Amino acid sequence: MDNIKRHRGRLHSDHPFGELFLTFLMICTWPLLNATTPPQLHCLGNGDYCLFGQGADIESVFGPGYSSPSYIQLSVKGGDSTLSARIKGTAIWQHTIYEDGKVIARLTDFTDSKAPTFTRMVECYAEFSFEINILEDEKITIADDFHSMGNDKSSSLLIYKERGLPIYGNYSHPYEQFQHIYSKGNSSLTKMGDFKYKLNLRPGKSELFLIGGSTFQECVDHTHMIDHNTSASLFERAKEHWLDYTGKRYDFEKLIPDNLPGKEEIIHQIDNVAVILKTQQSDQGSVIAGHRYHLAYVRDQYGVSRGFLAMGYFEEARDILKFYWDIWKDFGYIHNAQAIGIPGIFHQHENDEVEITGYLIIQAFDYLEKTKDTAFVKEIFPMLEWAWNAQKKNLVSGMLPFNGDETYVAGGILPRSALNDGSAEATLLFLEAGKRLMPFIEQNQLWEGEMLERNKALIHSTVATYPDNFILNRQIVANNPSRMTIEEMPAFRHGFCAGSHGVLETRKDDNGNYLCPKCIAEGLSFPPIDRKTYFLPSLALTPEYIGSDLIAQDILDHNLSLIKENYRQKGEVSSRGDSNITIGYEYGFFLYALTKQNDLLAARIIGDMLSVVDEVGAWVEYYNNGVPMGCNYRPWESAINIEAIILYALNYDDEEKK
């Protein structure tokens, strides 16, 4: 892929109002005519300031800093339908609001490329309003009429947030924060309650700004920036910023064969995912895991990095690794997820020394393979060495346990009681990480010979026991309960309690259940945990995705045949034969394996994948009978799926498909 050409497409307009809707090529367009369900979420983010829109509504606002709480919502009051669209190659969104089939307003939304600000330009033809709801909390203070340009055509609210609102779960934001809601033009602000306002819009042009600041002065300085620039100039620099980014990627118009069915839809979907990933990538390099999760999850970053690399975004992939390197230098460890820009906040799960550590090492070598950036990988080697040694400590009988946030466990496909069993996937990741790490160490003389040989021998012995541990009757077992008995399981661990009180400190009872202090105080007890082996044929997809030859090809082929048969019987991809749940990235894993095998079923699967993409071009966390569930606008699932589609598209040969 080193000789892949890149493109520098450009779009042009005369003015960001009015004719803009006609002069731009649009993508992700959907009408909400008499809609009974809300539209899907889309992200407007610049790395420091982030909003999620839902049609023309603003569902959440957070920043400066991506690991921040959201405490502002804005909803449109007026009109009976909305047509929303994203300008191709950008994260600029436009909405046309209708009333009885007539246009009453056109809106253009974007975040600035340089400052934590959001701009909404409004072309209004009939009166309507925005309802502004601010979280009612003792830590929130609102100052009305805070700022004016010396005329009666501006409205202003300053919102001061004290320390302490939650970022996610019970992780509190430790800093003060300021938000300024500011409007100009034919609009006026009405107070409807202590934390509720209405912005009334009259025919003509208006502008609404949301302006963030980590300090009072920053918020005021960013407001002055807004006052000294026109919305048109801010629009142009946001557009140029996005077109610079999307112009860096591989030129798939030239690379994908013209005879590929649905070529243009696939290219549009590549553009969708490029924006999905970048809007959620922080200035520090990490990518949040969707609108619910304002943290950086190690596992998710792996798939996102693969997606970036597949599209030609090498700098973005490097920035993810640098984010973890910066944290590791400060703390000497990495957990399941880390706050972004807030030192010391870690989202810790059970067994965080496994699985995510394997992904971290493999991610570094995926990056190295694409970029040949040996100097950077050598720089971060101390972190990779730690990630290797952390896994070794958890090896028991040649098996690693499950990480507590492992997808099958988090999705309820495997019970949490199996976490300390041997994990086929975590052990596979350990071995594949080692097979990449050891040659690098040897080539760069990073260890003494004796240490290198000991670790090579460990890999060899673990490889030798893998078939006995995880293959039974030609099927890959997800877990092996023989890794340790209930008595051998750790007495204490940080993770989910059996009483569903959340993720916190727990203690094991005699039956192998982990109970938190609240469970103990309530006198809760549970029956012995089920020591059962689970078969997940979809695990046969992971080796192909990782590029592993650990499991014999005839075993992988057999397990893939089970997945294919399950698909033919049910008509949909699913993680288990008796389950209706499809993990969002499983489409990508399935397509990846089928493409590698040159299987004709791949063409059908790519159609299924594209059919479940939501109206903003994203894949979601889970599907239940094809219906989206869980977190929307997910980078991990979207990145994995687009990488598989790109692999299929670049290798398409219609002669082979006949």
Q: Do 239 and 342 sit in the same domain of this protein?
A: no
Mean pLDDT of the chain: 90
Can you give the pLDDT at residue 4? 42
Q: Is the peptide bond prior to 490 cis by the omega test (within 30 degrees of 0)?
A: no
Q: What is the mean pLDDT of residues 302-322?
A: 98
In sequence order, the 6+-apart residues with CB closer than 8 A to the CB of 197 are: 131, 132, 134, 157, 181, 189, 190, 191
Query: Is 418 in contact with 479 (CB distance < 8 Å)?
Result: yes
Taking the model in full, what pTM does it have?
0.92
- DSSP per-residue letters across 634-647: -HHHHHHHHHHHHH
**For the chain, how many structural domains are there in total?**
2
Q: Do 240 and 310 sit in the same domain of this protein?
A: no
Report residue 413's pLDDT band, with 50, 70 and 90 as the boundaries: confident
Q: What is the mean pLDDT of residues 477-485?
A: 94
Q: Do 329 and 436 sit in the same domain of this protein?
A: yes
Task: Please state, in angstroms and rounded to a whole number, the distance separating the CA atoms of residues 450 and 653.
Answer: 49
Task: Please state, in angstroms and rounded to a whole number, the distance separating the CA atoms of residues 50 and 117.
Answer: 9
Residue 207 burial by Cβ neighbours in a 10 Å radius (0-12, 13-18, 19+)? buried
- Of the residues 246, 274, 293, the one at which a domain ends: 246
Can you give the pLDDT at residue 523? 92
Q: Which domain holds residue 116?
A: 20-246
CA 353-354-357 angle, 5° bins: 80
Q: Do 31 and 161 sit in the same domain of this protein?
A: yes
Can you give the pLDDT at residue 339? 97
Q: Do 62 and 131 sit in the same domain of this protein?
A: yes
528 domain-assigned = no
Residue 157 backbone phi and psi in degrees, to 5: -130, 130
Give the tokens for residue 56.
């023309």
Q: What is the mean pLDDT of residues 619-633?
A: 87
Q: Do 242 and 309 sit in the same domain of this protein?
A: no
Element (H, E) at 205: strand 196-213
Can you give the pLDDT at residue 538? 73
Q: What is the mean pLDDT of residues 175-190?
A: 94
Type of residue numbered 443: Q
Type of residue numbered 462: T
Q: What is the mean pLDDT of residues 151-176?
A: 88
Can you give the pLDDT at residue 577? 63
Q: Do 203 and 315 sit in the same domain of this protein?
A: no
Q: Do 347 and 242 sit in the same domain of this protein?
A: no
Strand partners, 96: 83, 106
Query: Is 361 in contact with 433 (CB distance < 8 Å)?
Result: yes
Q: Do 228 and 314 sit in the same domain of this protein?
A: no
Q: Do 196 and 67 sit in the same domain of this protein?
A: yes
234 domain-assigned = yes
- DSSP per-residue letters across 541-582: HHHHHHT---S-HHHHHHHHHHHHHHHHHHSS--SSTT--EE
Task: Please state, in angstroms and rounded to a whole number, the distance separating the CA atoms of residues 144 and 454.
Answer: 68
pLDDT at 151 over 60: no
- DSSP per-residue letters across 406-474: -HHHHTTSS-GGGTTSEEHHHHHHHHHHHHHHHHHHHHTT-S-HHHHHHHHHHHHHHHHHHHHHHEETT
